[in-house]
Structure 1
Amino acid sequence: MSHTNNLISFLRHYGPIPAGDNMYDELIQSEIERHGIDPAIHITPARLQKVQENFESSEPRNVILTGTAGDGKTYHCRRIWTDLGGDPEQWKVGKKIVSLTLPASGKMLTIVKDLSELTVSEKNNLFANLAIAVVGGSANNVYLVAANDGQLLASWRDWSDSQGKEEHKVFKIVEDMLVDERTSDDALNLNLFNLSRLDASEHFQELVEQLVEHPQWSQCEGCDLLNKDGSTICPIRINRERLRNGSNGSVFRKRLGELMKLARANHMHIPIRDLLLLGVNILLGDRQERQILLTCRTAKNRAEKQDYRLTNPYANVFGANLPERQRQQYQVFNTLEAFGIGRETDNKFDNLLIYGIYDGSKLYKELVSMDTHYGASAYEAYLRDYLEGERESIDEFMSALSRQRQRLFFSLPTESALDPWRLTVYQASGRFLTFVDGLANRSDVSRVTELLVRGLNRTFCGMMIDDGAKLYLASSGGDGRGRIASLLNYDLPTTRHRRDPYLNFAIGSDGATPCLQIIDPASQGDGIVDSLTLQLTHFEYLVRVASGSLPASFSRQCNEDFLDFKLRLIKRLDDLDLIVEESSGDEISLQALTVDERGRAHTDNIRIRLSS
């Protein structure tokens, strides 16, 4: 009988298996007990401490936990139940709603495990009581409700529409809280926590650390594939080593974390459940038909045949071991696939991968030949066929080439002369991460700022302006959306000014995205005239335009977003009456914007006499 590790058998339940056991907190708990997993793999619940402190207080507030499927809502509820004295066995019975008396306040806490599981009549009854509780009308009852965002709003709206004005007013406040991402409102006795607004990159690192450093990896001892010196030919343990943090850290993990941050900055949410699924798939993914995930037995089979191309962890990141239809069911694979890693490239990378073996390239040896499992052995046979004119296997070569690009993206050393982000759709991602980090730490970001302003000027004016020290707001007459905008409305400095409006970049409220702001120092409050959040796509657009691309070539939607912002901003600045009119009653004074051959902007005063 072949050697097996219970940890591997257990981890398969977290992977993209058809049974879908990873979908339910209750099923995972039973598997933990069955396989004797200790400690259990989990993340520190994002809002657990705050929710616990709330219900342990003498005046607890009602709590609603929202988010998408897999964000840990049920886990939070179960922990609150058990930590406050609830019977774990009663939780397992499967009731939709459970209740217990809170020790500190003596109030009855009602926990709704999942709003979507309730019938219409059960929902109506819940909302009737919850509405009373959140407006302070119930002295003895508080609620903890887990609900998906859409389900919560749709169900509450349907109920409130059949009620009076006060009930509908409560719904509107809750809706506004969710839209505005506020956790509380003075009018309601309610805390609303959206678990989808959390940083996936931090959670992923925590989960991977638990996966690869779990003490039950020791059960591999005695396996034929594991040598006494710790070396191994087991594909599972090879993939594990790629994810482990050595003395210099894991580049693989670092790049994965950066992709998570970029996805968040592009408003692409990855549920907690999918993060764990991703980690397991990297370790156990198997492209052998109908296998999907490795077992200890199939891992031994791959090792004996040295068929590591089927267990490539870099391809597993994108769900390459799954049929396309099944892969599309998981948000994490769709999100990571959107970066185009494997499809995107440039000449430096492809020249290295295709001709480096024959050029005696030192870089090829370091980056391809030295990876004995997923580099040369998984690629060079296809390369030779391609270079020797074998065209029948061109598809296999292109797939192998794509996997090498993926491998390079996740393994290129940080100090490499090659930029891994050139292998993605968002080639300015490295700059984006540096810019966000600089804004957060208040370090010098002037070079990136100048680049962004140049992109803005070229978009706003439709001319090849090289100036990145001043923002030009120009229109073209009519609706102001003409391709060339040469009538200058405002020119704003990009450094802080004491009297006049200026352009400023700041980190957004989510801590993940930069925000473009126009500040009027003379106005009251924060002085923000208008602002625009720069998602990753917006940032990429501006960098490409600043580097010579035509404004609408990368993204027509981004082009429209910036033109809308420009027109809105011009109107708001007009409303501030910042311009002192020099025109007399019988003439109009305009400023025409022109650009010389060096990309420098110039303004010319034009006076138009009005006929009487």
Structure 2
Amino acid sequence: METMGAPPASAWVRLLRSYGPTPQNLTLFDEYVAAAVDRAKVEPIKLATPLLEAMVSHVESKAPGSMLIAGTAGDGKTYHCRALWTRLGGEPKAWAAKGNVKELQLADGRLAVFIKDLSEFRGESSDLPLLRLEKSVLEGDDSEIVILAANHGQVLDRLRDLGERHGGRHPLRTPLQECFLQAGPAPDRLAVFDLSRTTTRKTFEEVAKAVAGHPQWSNCSSCTLNADGRICPIDENRRRLLGEADGGQLAGRLGDLLEIARLNGLHLPVRDLLALCSNMVLGYADAKEAKENLMTCADVAQIQEAGHVSKACIYANAFGANLPKRRAFDGPVFKAMAAFGVGEETTNGADGLLVYGKDDARLQADFARLVASDPIYGATPDYLAAQDDYLEGYEGARLEVGAAAFMEMLEDQRRRLYFTLPDDEPSYLRWAMTVYRFAGDYLGIISTLAKKTQVNEAVRARIAKGLNRVMTGLLLENADRIFIASSGGFTQSRVSVLCDHETTARRQQGTGMAIKLNPMTGRPFLEVQLAAGETNKVDFDLTPIRHEFLSRVAEGALPASFSNECLEDLLAFKAKLLRKAEIVRRNGVRDDDEVGGEDSAITLDFIDIEPGGRGLVRPVTVRAPA
């Protein structure tokens, strides 16, 4: 129970704090949710169960066999399992009672056997739920439907061990492995619901709304910490996350970053998204004033008296800047956010605005509109004072204490700008303040392909130019042709001046390059068709980092200076194209080569570069000496 005089939302804030990046966040495990909520006497955070209806329909269809609820740690497997138990008529108290196996008699006569978490079984005791699963799936026993919740790797490891102890490979292991890794079909009589494929930017939006829009926040309206002109940083942050001031721009741009991370292959489960949102609302940069860098209501009065509300900046909290680096990098979500370099990456225009904008007559209007308009986290008294010390202080202060303090604040201001800059601001481009400067174009490709419209011509041309520069190692400007070049053999030579094949950079008459959308991954891919026929094409998965690589190369960056891994991926793609070009040539699809003959002459296509950087193919006939 709350003590007399405690802020009215303090119990809820304590519960939310336990979801944050603290050393002890047991509340994030579904098994502890009911107990924690009961102690706090507040409503739990209610999240969507995207696969629940499909699970209920499967059970009600009386389909034979059993069910596997799979995913990674924190995807909500037990949460879905509990929700399914309740929907099928199970009592919440029975679920909360001790025991990892729950049984429920269904109306159709079958016994539903819920196994809440396979990891709770140790050693050979894990054989018991798997043997019940075998009986249902492999032996055709329809008296039970086993509903098993398990991590991908865990269930595969347990099946491997069980198979080895019985002298062979378990018959469910290979099909499940293909189902998890390659989106293959589920084994017969086993319905697989993989929660790791359901986490998208929509999931984050739902989590953010569930946290920032929770009914318990209504208690803040009667709190003295939020009255008489006082700014409660907790309430301020949750309002900004909810989008009350910017129409949801903060959440939308955060969703962009999380989507880029997902399309790069990083899976962020619901547990991590909860930790992110909790830290955004409660994060505080000084552990002396807020234990473990997360505020409670009891900390707010002291923070207000000290005039340190700006240390709770939600824009810095989004990147875990309030946390010690070690603790921030322990969490995959903050590690992923830090990888964007927001706060460290910048432009001359942005830094000119933030450093000189208050005093420069040419920038004062922009400074007032983009920085001074936010007195809480923008042009705060602390920031303005540090700015003056940096610009006007004596040289020793600028180089020592003053510079260090101001540079830390400057990083936070860059983060704030990323989230608050208007979309139509030509002088300050938000994606230029990240390491993914072309990420906006990448998301635009996905959006246009999903609408079945044409990719922006400038974006397509830049990809083609980047491809040509990697394929040849030359500073070509061509954006309408793709040169598949070699150095005379299937080597990994970085400079290739022999054109083995030439095709259009846009699909024409069945050949050339096309940009398509992979419905399984949600990512675009390049499809280069060298000749008519399904077998004469090569695909290249265009991840965000590969797109960034091609775009940077097209703009003049040296390939190896950005990502050696991407360069190797592109050279492997080039090798596939060279092999395919050789096959096309052997099959006689191309007939423009003059090979052999009575005079033993051979024609080679060399790539010449004109003064403007445009490449041209120049045939050169080589004859063997007499």
Q: Deviations over 1:451-504 (max 9, x none)?
A: 1011001001111111111211111134421121111111122333335x3211
User: 1:265 matched to which residue of 2?
Assistant: 263
Q: Deviations over 1:75-134 (max 9, x none)?
A: 011111121122322221231222223323x22222222222212212233334423433
Q: 1:94 to 1:323 in 2, by over 3 A?
A: farther
Secondary structure, counterpart of 2:557 in structure 1? coil
Secondary structure, counterpart of 2:607 in structure 1? strand
How many Å apart are 1:232 and its aligned residue? Answer: 5.0
Q: 1:492 to 1:158 in 2, by over 3 A?
A: farther
Alpha-carbon distance in 2 for matches of 1:232, 1:270? 36
How many Å apart are 1:191 and its aligned residue? Answer: 2.3
Q: 1:283 to 1:542 in 2, by over 3 A?
A: same
For 1:582, which of 584, 594, 602 is the aligned residue? 594
How many Å apart are 1:156 and its aligned residue? Answer: 1.5
- 1:248-259 aligned at under 5 Å gives the runs 249-259=247-257
- Residue 600, structure 1, aligned to residue 611, structure 2: no
- Residue 400, structure 1, aligned to residue 437, structure 2: no
TM-score, structure 2 length as denominator?
A: 0.91
For 1:11, which of 8, 16, 34 is the aligned residue? 16
Q: Deviations over 1:366-420 (max 9, x none)?
A: 2222211111224222222222231321322211111111111111122222111
User: 1:309 matched to which residue of 2?
Assistant: 310
Alpha-carbon distance in 1 for matches of 2:531, 2:246? 46
8 Å CA contact retained: 1:10, 1:32: yes
Alpha-carbon distance in 2 for matches of 1:507, 1:494? 17
User: 1:493 matched to which residue of 2?
Assistant: 504
Structure 1 window deviating more from structure 2 (467-476 vs 85-94): it is 85-94
- Residue 83, structure 1, aligned to residue 97, structure 2: no
Secondary structure, counterpart of 1:436 in structure 2? helix
8 Å CA contact retained: 1:68, 1:148: yes
Alpha-carbon distance in 2 for matches of 1:349, 1:109? 60
User: 2:27 matched to which residue of 1?
Assistant: 22
User: 2:204 matched to which residue of 1?
Assistant: 204
Alpha-carbon distance in 1 for matches of 2:36, 2:420? 34
Alpha-carbon distance in 2 for matches of 1:519, 1:164? 48
One-letter amino acid of the counterpart of residue 606, structure 1: V
- 1:432-447 aligned at under 5 Å gives the runs 432-445=442-455, 446-447=457-458
8 Å CA contact retained: 1:200, 1:272: no
Alpha-carbon distance in 2 for matches of 1:517, 1:112? 44
Alpha-carbon distance in 2 for matches of 1:329, 1:597? 52
How many Å apart are 1:35 and its aligned residue? Answer: 2.8
Secondary structure, counterpart of 1:221 in structure 2? helix
- 1:528-567 aligned at under 5 Å gives the runs 529-567=537-575
- 1:98-113 aligned at under 5 Å gives the runs 98-104=102-108, 106-113=109-116
User: 1:69 matched to which residue of 2?
Assistant: 73
Q: Deviations over 1:246-297 (max 9, x none)?
A: 4861221111111111111111221101111111111111222252221112
Alpha-carbon distance in 2 for matches of 1:395, 1:523? 62
Alpha-carbon distance in 2 for matches of 1:147, 1:172? 16
Q: 1:232 to 1:515 in 2, by over 3 A?
A: farther
Alpha-carbon distance in 2 for matches of 1:79, 1:596? 67
User: 1:242 matched to which residue of 2?
Assistant: 240
8 Å CA contact retained: 1:454, 1:468: yes
Q: Deviations over 1:163-209 (max 9, x none)?
A: 355x5343111111111123x34x52222232222243111111222
One-letter amino acid of the counterpart of residue 135, structure 1: L
Q: CA RMSD in A?
A: 2.2
One-letter amino acid of the counterpart of residue 403, structure 1: D
One-letter amino acid of the counterpart of residue 466, structure 1: E
- Structure 1 alignment gaps of length 5 or more: none
8 Å CA contact retained: 2:8, 2:222: no
Secondary structure, counterpart of 1:376 in structure 2? coil
Alpha-carbon distance in 2 for matches of 1:2, 1:478? 77
Secondary structure, counterpart of 1:4 in structure 2? coil
Q: Runs of at least 4 residues of structure 1 off by over 4 A?
A: none
How many Å apart are 1:608 and its aligned residue? Answer: 2.9
User: 1:335 matched to which residue of 2?
Assistant: 336
One-letter amino acid of the counterpart of residue 410, structure 1: F
Q: 1:528 to 1:255 in 2, by over 3 A?
A: farther
Q: 1:126 to 1:610 in 2, by over 3 A?
A: farther
One-letter amino acid of the counterpart of residue 416, structure 2: R
One-letter amino acid of the counterpart of residue 481, structure 1: Q
- Aligned sequence identity (%): 33
Alpha-carbon distance in 2 for matches of 1:601, 1:4? 71
8 Å CA contact retained: 2:285, 2:312: yes
Q: 1:128 to 1:522 in 2, by over 3 A?
A: farther
Secondary structure, counterpart of 1:379 in structure 2? helix
One-letter amino acid of the counterpart of residue 262, structure 2: R
8 Å CA contact retained: 1:7, 1:37: yes
TM-score, structure 1 length as denominator?
A: 0.93
Structure 1 window deviating more from structure 2 (331-340 vs 582-591): it is 582-591
Alpha-carbon distance in 1 for matches of 2:501, 2:133? 52
Alpha-carbon distance in 2 for matches of 1:610, 1:48? 73
Q: 1:162 to 1:60 in 2, by over 3 A?
A: same
Alpha-carbon distance in 2 for matches of 1:369, 1:37? 38
- 1:144-159 aligned at under 5 Å gives the runs 144-159=147-162
Secondary structure, counterpart of 1:76 in structure 2? helix
One-letter amino acid of the counterpart of residue 565, structure 1: F
User: 1:505 matched to which residue of 2?
Assistant: 515
Structure 1 window deviating more from structure 2 (435-444 vs 95-104): it is 95-104
Q: Deviations over 1:136-156 (max 9, x none)?
A: 532323322222222222222
- Residue 482, structure 1, aligned to residue 493, structure 2: yes
User: 2:47 matched to which residue of 1?
Assistant: 43
Q: Deviations over 1:5-45 (max 9, x none)?
A: 1322321222222321233112122222333333x322211
Q: Deviations over 1:417-436 (max 9, x none)?
A: 21111111111111111121
- Residue 454, structure 1, aligned to residue 456, structure 2: no
How many Å apart are 1:327 and its aligned residue? Answer: 1.7
User: 1:172 matched to which residue of 2?
Assistant: 174
One-letter amino acid of the counterpart of residue 260, structure 2: L
- Residue 411, structure 1, aligned to residue 420, structure 2: yes
How many Å apart are 1:511 and its aligned residue? Answer: 5.5
Structure 1 window deviating more from structure 2 (580-589 vs 448-457): it is 580-589
Q: 1:556 to 1:237 in 2, by over 3 A?
A: same
Q: 1:174 to 1:247 in 2, by over 3 A?
A: same
One-letter amino acid of the counterpart of residue 193, structure 1: F
Q: Deviations over 1:33-75 (max 9, x none)?
A: 333333x322211211111111121224422222221110110
Alpha-carbon distance in 2 for matches of 1:610, 1:99? 83
